[in-house]
Amino acid sequence: MPVTAEQSAAPAAIRVELDAIFVSLELSKSTWLVTSLSPGAADKMSRHTVDGGDIAGLFARIGELRDKALARTGRLYRIVSIQEAGLDGFWLHRSLDHEDWIESHIVDAASIAVSRKRRRAKTDRIDGETLIRTLLAYKRGEPRVCSMVRVPTPQDEDRRRIGRERKILVDERTLHINRIKGLLFSQGIRGYEPGRRDRRERLEELRTGDGRDLPTHIKAQLLRELGRLELLIEQIKAVEVERDAILAQDKEVMTNPTAMLLGIKGIGPEFATIIHTECLSRHFANRRQVASYAGLAASPWQSGSINREQGISKAGNPRLRTAMVQLAWLWLRHQPDSTLSRWFRERVSQNAGRRKATTIVALARKLLVAFWKYVTFGVVIEGATMKAA
């Protein structure tokens, strides 16, 4: 079939309509690869490298792209850039987006379709070109070509550090506690709890399983582990004091999302902080978006006569998903008369007490949607008990 003039001119017409220079940034610690597609460049992508972190060099390179396009076409074009969400965070996006002539986007790399070959090629050059094509499709308005990241404000980004730091410290505390218990277990000692305040006094009283004093070097190692553990405990307390100070300010405004969550029985400071900073501080159009962001949405597999459920997608925020599953178990204890708790018990009884783990995940999804409706639209959670004033 012969190619008509209209078909051959289609790509150029699309770029003229979009009226921009498209730039993708492949970021690494040492270098930044700048791939660009400019009007009048005969559909050829150009590539340049900039030292990693050299924002002035990046702006200079982008300026050169504008100047070359101006010399070719006689017009001054705006820049539309794209980069993957990663280690560099959002500071580069904010630097670019601060300029009136630059439109910056951050894309979720996992949302970009790639070749399904068993062994596909992957280089920075290929990734840069893929980002350009994805950006072109996104600007043409193609649905679901990728998922762009909603960049939080600097204040929201800084506030969620509290919950994330506490999670890291708690995990490290667990690691040291398990290491101490493991060392003692190798000596035939059970029942020692490093988290107690009298941990050092009890350590002096310990005897091995065959009645000996603790060996010198293993005791020295245990004391050093206790020192690290005590430092972590102090840091966790400091983070919690900082968190509680912010929550105290939120409680002064009754319509604040965190204050509204804290008013529900069974939700404490940590869960309220995680749910707000990791989820409800964002904008969602509907309940499906809320569930998808947490990775709690269903993943169907349907092809021809095959139609089965794969479980939850797990493609969302892992911190939020973990917190919601934990909160779902606590919800059954503290809100036994709520509609959601009754729904859980009825569903489990239909399965003769089986599949509790699957049903608790469904309860976590329903809870998150209920919290979103409560905070956003004021829809009261049916049957939920509020804390006494």
The CATH number of the domain holding residue 118 is 3.30.420.40
CA atoms within 13 A on the CB side of 329: 8
- The pLDDT confidence band at residue 1, using thresholds 50, 70 and 90, is very low
Find out whether 151 and 90 touch, Cβ atoms under 8 Å: yes
Q: Alpha-carbon distance 308 to 298, whole Å? A: 11
User: Residue 300's pLDDT is what?
Assistant: 84
Asked whether residue 29 is assigned to any structural domain, the reply reads yes
The whole-angstrom distance between residue 89's C-alpha and the CA centroid of its chain comes to: 12
Asked whether residue 145 is assigned to any structural domain, the reply reads no
Residue 373: name the closest of 298, 247, 303, 288 by CA: 288
Q: Alpha-carbon distance 46 to 37, whole Å? A: 7
- Say if residue 228's pLDDT is above 80: yes
Q: Which of 251, 267, 286 is the last residue of a domain?
A: 251
Pairing of strands 78-84, 20-27: parallel
Count of CB atoms situated within 10 Å of the CB of 51: 11
Q: Which domain range does residue 232 map to?
A: 154-251
Asked if 31 and 66 sit in the same domain, the reply is: yes
Give the model confidence (pLDDT) of 128-181 as tens digits.
Answer: 999 999 999 999 999 889 999 999 999 999 999 999 999 999 999 999 999 999
Contacts from 178-186 at CB under 8 Å and sequence distance 24+?
Answer: 179/225, 180/222, 180/225, 180/226, 180/229, 183/218, 183/221, 183/222, 183/225, 184/222
- The pLDDT confidence band at residue 389, using thresholds 50, 70 and 90, is low
The whole-angstrom distance between residue 366's C-alpha and the CA centroid of its chain comes to: 20
Asked if 134 and 14 sit in the same domain, the reply is: yes
Helix, strand, coil shares of the chain as percentages rounded to 5? 55, 15, 35
B/e letters for 301-336, b = 16+ CB within 10 Å, e = fewer, are: eeeeeeeeeeebeebbbebbbebbbebbeebbeebe
Domain count, the chain: 3
Listed in sequence order, the residues at least 6 apart from 155 whose beta carbon sits closer than 8 Å to its beta carbon are none
- The pLDDT confidence band at residue 315, using thresholds 50, 70 and 90, is confident
Asked if 13 and 119 sit in the same domain, the reply is: yes
- Say if residue 13's pLDDT is above 50: no
Find out whether 222 and 183 touch, Cβ atoms under 8 Å: yes
Q: What are phi and psi of 239, to 5 degrees?
A: -65, -40
Q: Alpha-carbon distance 313 to 210, whole Å? A: 51
Asked whether residue 56 is assigned to any structural domain, the reply reads yes
Asked whether residue 385 is assigned to any structural domain, the reply reads no
Asked whether residue 110 is assigned to any structural domain, the reply reads yes
CA atoms within 13 A on the CB side of 236: 17
Asked whether residue 346 is assigned to any structural domain, the reply reads yes
Asked if 237 and 266 sit in the same domain, the reply is: no
Asked whether residue 149 is assigned to any structural domain, the reply reads no
Asked if 307 and 351 sit in the same domain, the reply is: yes
User: Residue 117's pLDDT is what?
Assistant: 81
- In the chain, % of residues over pLDDT 90: 78
Asked if 281 and 318 sit in the same domain, the reply is: yes
The whole-angstrom distance between residue 153's C-alpha and the CA centroid of its chain comes to: 15
Computed over every residue of the chain, the mean pLDDT equals: 91
Q: Which of 107, 140, 173 is the last residue of a domain?
A: 140
CA angle 283, 287, 289 (to 5 degrees): 60
Radius of gyration of the chain (CA): 28
Find out whether 356 and 329 touch, Cβ atoms under 8 Å: no
- Say if residue 70's pLDDT is above 80: yes
Tokens 């012969």: give the residue.
2
Residue 302 DSSP code: E
Listed in sequence order, the residues at least 6 apart from 198 whose beta carbon sits closer than 8 Å to its beta carbon are none
Q: Which of 251, 270, 289 is the last residue of a domain?
A: 251
User: Residue 254's pLDDT is what?
Assistant: 67
Asked if 17 and 88 sit in the same domain, the reply is: yes
Asked whether residue 9 is assigned to any structural domain, the reply reads yes
CA angle 281, 283, 286 (to 5 degrees): 125
Contacts from 62-66 at CB under 8 Å and sequence distance 24+?
Answer: 62/23, 62/34, 62/102, 65/21, 65/23, 65/36, 65/38, 66/21, 66/101
Asked if 102 and 18 sit in the same domain, the reply is: yes
- Say if residue 119's pLDDT is above 90: no
Asked if 40 and 127 sit in the same domain, the reply is: yes
Model confidence, pTM: 0.84
- In the chain, % of residues over pLDDT 70: 95
**DSSP 3-state assignment of 291?**
helix
State mean pLDDT over 191-198: 94
Asked if 261 and 362 sit in the same domain, the reply is: yes
Give the model confidence (pLDDT) of 91-107 as tens digits.
Answer: 999 999 999 999 999 99
Asked if 304 and 187 sit in the same domain, the reply is: no
- Say if residue 14's pLDDT is above 50: no
Asked if 183 and 220 sit in the same domain, the reply is: yes
